[in-house]
Chains A and B, each alone.
Chain A
Amino acid sequence: MKVYLPRPGKAARLCLLAIALMVVCAPAANGQDTQPDSFDSIKPTPVITGSTAYFSRVTGGQWQDSPSISPLLLFPIGNKLLLEAKGASTETWAKNAQGDYAGNFTYGLAYAQLDFIASRYMTVTAGKFVTPFNIYSERLTPNWIRALQTGPLTSPVTSNGSLGGMVRGGFPVNGQSVNLTYAAYFSTNNTNHITATDRSSGGRLGFFLPGPRLEFGGSYQQVLQADRPHSAGAYVEWQPNPLPLTLRSEYVRSSGIKGSGYWIESVYRLSQIPYLKRLELAGRGQQFFAAPNLSAATIKKLGALGRDTNEGDAGLNYYFRSDVRASATYGRQFALGHDANLWVFGMTWRFVSPLLPSGGAQ
């Protein structure tokens, strides 16, 4: 059995050093502090939130129905701590080999973490958390948020979950025109089926320009086990001020067997048309390039990541309210010998409720 020494990679150490320097220098660069205000008097209360959904999917002619629920517990402790835990359970119904319509129940823990707000510029997190790599996995994955119910082909390239520690934060630089955001983490190897994670380290550095509403940044991940692949990524998101339009894109490249790829997504809310202002149009184009020289056995093991794939997706979202949404997505996947139509349609409801009977009252 191979033993892995507790030694983060050189790139991860440099990343941590750079972030530490930035955090130390941030007050000087900013030149001003945020003054305490009357809103410090609002005492946070425990909240249960999350989403429930019912989606029907047709993938290459195979029909699936999947009700799901993803509760998220937010439990603030004092002024500095937040305990947050999110679970997910799904029942997937499909025809089995015997032709019967049968269900398969799955559940998991997306994250369970304790956040300590160490300063205005830094939050320290411990537990199981979503790996801070680009933006999709951390911010756009929930089915009530994602514009298209088909996911990016690049999502499985990197480890999406980590178990360990993380520092993250954001602060304005150059007056108020740029917000710098950062995250650096270290994760241990864990083989429990609910909290499975890889031993890895990495981080993300981003810039957000509130004026033009432009965000861009880069990510790095070094896996510290098995064949020790590393992954690098970049992302950009732009919401032009005059239009209800969002453009976003991610690029990922892995040194290992998982290849590379990118996706570009646009979302347009028809808010300027009175009778269609609840409707949102979305489209995405993506390409995935499998790693070269893979053996037949590796290709079989990797599944979709073992072959070059192009995909185009288009979808509609209709907001009955800000928290109730109907969605329909069509995608066409082009892979040698595996071309397929992807249909997804269903509804989501995002719920928010205080955990205690009088929790919401101030």
Chain B
Amino acid sequence: MRTRTLLLIIVTAGVLLFAMASWAKSDSKEKNDAPSGGTSASSSRPKMDEASRLEGEKRFRANCGRCHAAPSKFQPRMTATIIRHMRVRATITDQDMRLILGYMTE
């Protein structure tokens, strides 16, 4: 029990330290109210038009911002997985999911 306890504390402390260290290196200009800092999608996909991008941002704020702070952008394939998860968890509609995915991977 003692070994397991120590291990858990070390792991927790380690990940928190790692998080703090990566925060210290992060871009200080990160915006708090919009996703940022991620990798953009592949250039093989066509760019979203401005209207769709704005609608995607609006749906993102309305749906995701209901529960938590806006996350950073992730790799497109990770974003697709997370959006599928959130579609189920937060009962996001299919149309909102597509617009948010487009906005998050733009």
Contact = CB atoms under 8 A, between A and B. Distances in A.
A95 interface: no
Interface residues on B, range: 35 or more
A309 B37 CA distance: 45
Contacts of A82: 81, 84-85, 88
A214 B65 CA distance: 12
Most chain A CB neighbours (cut-off 10 Å) among B15, B59, B70, B71: B15
B66 to A, nearest CB: 6
Contact of A103 (B1, B16, B63): B1
Contacts of A76: 80-81, 84
Interface in A161-201: 168-172, 179, 181-183
Contacts of B65: 239
A326 to B, nearest CB: 10
A349 B16 contact: yes
Interface string B90-106: 11111110100110010
Most chain B CB neighbours (cut-off 10 Å) among A52, A271, A354: A52
Contacts of B72: 321-323
Contacts of B95: 34, 120, 172
Interface class of chain A by DSSP: strand
Contacts of B102: 37, 39
A13 interface: no
A324 interface: yes
B80 A42 contact: yes
B33 interface: yes
B29 interface: no
B86 to A, nearest CB: 10
A39 B105 contact: yes
B51 interface: no
A210 B58 contact: yes
B77 A359 contact: yes
B56 to A, nearest CB: 10
B32 A271 contact: yes
Given A322-B32, A323-B19, A359 B78 contact: yes
B20 interface: yes
Given A42-B105, A43-B77, A171 B93 contact: yes
Given A139-B67, A277-B32, A322-B71, A34 B16 contact: no
Interface of A: 34, 37-39, 41-47, 49, 52-54, 67-69, 74, 76, 82, 84, 89, 91, 93, 103, 105, 115, 117, 120-121, 123, 125, 138-140, 144-145, 168-172, 179, 181-183, 206, 208, 210, 213, 215, 237, 239, 244, 246, 269, 271, 277-278, 319-325, 347, 349-352, 354, 359-362
User: Which 8 A-B pairs give the minimum distances between C-beta atoms?
Assistant: A360-B75, A67-B12, A181-B91, A120-B94, A349-B19, A44-B81, A45-B77, A44-B80
Given A46-B81, A144-B68, A352-B78, 18 more contacts: A34-B94, A39-B80, A39-B98, A42-B41, A42-B45, A52-B12, A68-B12, A115-B88, A117-B87, A138-B89, A139-B67, A210-B58, A210-B59, A210-B62, A320-B19, A322-B69, A349-B15, A351-B15
